[in-house]
């Protein structure tokens, strides 16, 4: 079932918590809402679930408007961070609770409970008490309880944040597998960009009650449109540059002491428009970004820097390098080659094909 959010505004008294949100979650798709604490992710989820009143705008499920429907009329299930399980009940009792409320008969309830226990790989755990389960198993029960009512939409509010790192990775794969298999349209709130990229079809990055960018998961990392999205999705190097010349699809720049060409493939930036922009306006409006993995070391370079800091991160080594007197850049290198050390003076080569122009932060 498709979800359409149309010009949605939400307020907590005078505070605008969602400012004109437009978003379509396609049928069977999982969209992650990603953004820093307080940006409005949970509020948007609550608005979809009907747990908070909106100020204006519409929410549609398929073609049906649900903006003012009560939560129980929406066929939407929520999976919370704290699981919200009943501790005194067994696993099966927790799962069948929603069915009892709907007055489903006992035999049918038993069949459905067993079905979802199998889906979340907890066959045989029905009689266990909640406190006899691990955190990961409790999260599976929470998911089973959401699935048993056969919702048209699943909403997740940071469902894995109470689990340790390893379990988070396993559980997000599980959630993804189940969501794909059942084809349930889902919205998944997280502030962890890696989790969002791993689990979602598309990512909506939010800031201050606004959606800044919606894009396929990998694109939010490789094709951010502004500095906020770029920084939120991973480490960025913002390079100082001077504009030399604007051509139809290429900008000629001076970066440090090198003359380079950067192509337009960002889409949002039409270089033909830029022809009319003078250099100061352009450099005020756009920053030049390159990710750490798109820079390499070379013996024969136009630019040299000094290694100031080395971090060993599993398969990757992260180098912080100063160029000239004070400009720092971060370079990621796959482990395997020669390992450099602090104080080494090395040649640096940028892969300009991977460089992007971003709208500067306001």
User: What is the binding site for ligand ATP (CB under 6 A)?
Assistant: 12, 15, 17, 35, 37-43, 191
What is the sign of the dihedral through the CA atoms of 174, 176, 178 and 181?
negative
Which is closer to ligand ATP, CB of 204 or CB of 269? 204
Least distance CB 182 / ligand ATP (angstroms): 26
Which is closer to ligand ATP, CB of 37 or CB of 280? 37
E strands of 62-101, at which residues? 64-65, 76-79
Which is closer to ligand ATP, CB of 43 or CB of 94? 43
Which is closer to ligand ATP, CB of 10 or CB of 356? 10
Which is closer to ligand ATP, CB of 52 or CB of 222? 52
Least distance CB 16 / ligand ATP (angstroms): 9
Least distance CB 312 / ligand ATP (angstroms): 31
Least distance CB 188 / ligand ATP (angstroms): 12
Least distance CB 144 / ligand ATP (angstroms): 24
Q: Yes or no: say if 153 and 75 are a contact pair by the CB < 8 Å rule.
A: yes
Least distance CB 241 / ligand ATP (angstroms): 34
Distance CA 342, CA 27 (A): 52
Distance CA 283, CA 277 (A): 10
Least distance CB 8 / ligand ATP (angstroms): 13
Token match 């992650």: residue?
32
Which is closer to ligand ATP, CB of 52 or CB of 266? 52
Which is closer to ligand ATP, CB of 38 or CB of 62? 38
Parallel/antiparallel/unpaired status of strands 56-61 and 3-12: antiparallel
Which is closer to ligand ATP, CB of 19 or CB of 90? 19
Least distance CB 52 / ligand ATP (angstroms): 8
What is the sign of the dihedral through the CA atoms of 73, 79, 84 and 89?
positive
Per DSSP, the residues of 284-343 read HHEEEEE-GGGEEEESS-SEEEEEEEEEEETTEEEEEEEETTTEEEEEEEEBTBPPP-TT
What is each CA distance from 329 to 42, 183, 257, in whole angstroms? 35, 43, 15
Q: Give the SS3 label for residue 20.
A: strand
Which is closer to ligand ATP, CB of 56 or CB of 64? 56
Tokens of 141: 């029960």
The continuous run of DSSP H or E covering 68 comes out as none
**Number of DSSP helices (H) and strands (E) in the chain, helices first:** 10, 21
Angle at Cα 85 formed by Cα 80 and Cα 91, nearest 5°? 125
């Amino acid at each position: 079932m498709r979800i359409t959010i149309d010009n949605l505004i939400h307020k907590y008294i005078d505070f605008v918590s969602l400012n004109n949100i437009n978003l379509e979650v396609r049928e069977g798709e999982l969209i992650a809402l990603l953004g820093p604490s307080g940006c409005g992710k949970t509020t948007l989820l609550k608005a979809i679930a009907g747990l908070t009143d909106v100020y204006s705008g519409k929410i549609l499920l398929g073609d049906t408007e649900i903006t003012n429907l009560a939560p129980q009329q929406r066929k939407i299930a929520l999976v919370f961070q704290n699981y919200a399980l009943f501790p005194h009940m067994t696993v099966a009792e927790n799962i069948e609770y929603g069915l009892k409320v709907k007055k489903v008969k006992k035999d049918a309830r038993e069949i459905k409970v067993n079905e979802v226990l199998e889906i979340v790989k907890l066959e045989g755990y029905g009689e266990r008490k909640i406190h006899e389960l691990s955190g990961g198993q409790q999260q599976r029960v929470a998911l089973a309880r959401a699935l048993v009512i056969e919702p048209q939409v699943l909403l997740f509010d940071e469902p894995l944040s109470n689990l340790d790192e390893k379990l988070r990775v396993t559980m997000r794969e599980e959630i993804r597998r189940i969501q794909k298999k059942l084809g349930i349209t889902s919205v998944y709130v997280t502030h962890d960009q890696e989790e969002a990229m791993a689990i979602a079809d598309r990512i909506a990055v939010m800031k201050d009650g606004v959606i800044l960018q919606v894009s396929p998961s990998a694109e939010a990392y490789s094709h951010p449109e502004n500095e906020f999205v770029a920084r939120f999705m991973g480490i960025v190097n913002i390079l100082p540059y001077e504009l030399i010349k604007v051509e139809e699809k290429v900008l000629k720049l001076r970066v440090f002491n090198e003359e380079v060409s950067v192509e337009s493939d960002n889409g949002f930036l039409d270089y033909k428009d830029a022809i009319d922009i003078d250099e100061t306006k352009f450099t005020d409006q756009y920053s030049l970004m390159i990710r750490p993995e798109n820079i390499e070391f070379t013996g024969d370079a136009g630019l040299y820097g000094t290694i100031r800091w080395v971090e060993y991160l599993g398969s990757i080594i992260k180098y912080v390098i100063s160029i000239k007197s004070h400009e720092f850049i971060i370079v990621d290198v796959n482990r395997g080659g020669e390992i450099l050390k602090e104080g080494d003076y090395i040649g640096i080569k940028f892969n300009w094909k991977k460089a992007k122009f971003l709208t500067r932060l306001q």
